[in-house]
Amino acid sequence: MVSKSGYGKIKWRPIGDLRVHRLAAHLWMDFDLKDGRRICHRCDNPPCFNPEHLFKGTDKENQIDSVKKHRHWLARKTMCKHGHKFSPENTYTTKLGARQCRKCHVINVTAARRRRMRQ
């Protein structure tokens, strides 16, 4: 059975409805099903349950992985919210993996300096 979000799903007596990749991690990777961590896909294929394609991670690690692989909806954006292009010259990446527009950064820093000078 496949869930609406595309993940394989199974009914397992001790727990009930369970995503198949989590059960595979429990059986082959010594993963505690009650653990708050995520089971992430290296292959980016939600119904996959091959243990070689799975790894343990946090929500944050899963988000960073999705941004690096350009799966995250923000990673597919070509312009910032003010219309500047995300080109290599105009883009830098934060420690958390988020892209920032250099032009907007300069505008914001300049505006903040002007506000401080008026005070």
Instruction: Domain count for the chain, please give it.
Output: 2
Q: Using one digit for the tens of pLDDT, what is the confidence trace for 70-95? A: 777 777 788 999 999 999 999 988 87
Residue 117 banded pLDDT, cuts 50, 70, 90: very high
Same domain, 34 and 3: yes
Same domain, 52 and 36: yes
Residue 1 banded pLDDT, cuts 50, 70, 90: confident
Q: pTM to 2 decimals?
A: 0.60
Tokens of residue 64, six digits? 């960073």
Which residues are paired to 92 by β-bridges? 100
| Domain span holding position 109 | 77-119
Domain boundary among 52, 72, 92: 72
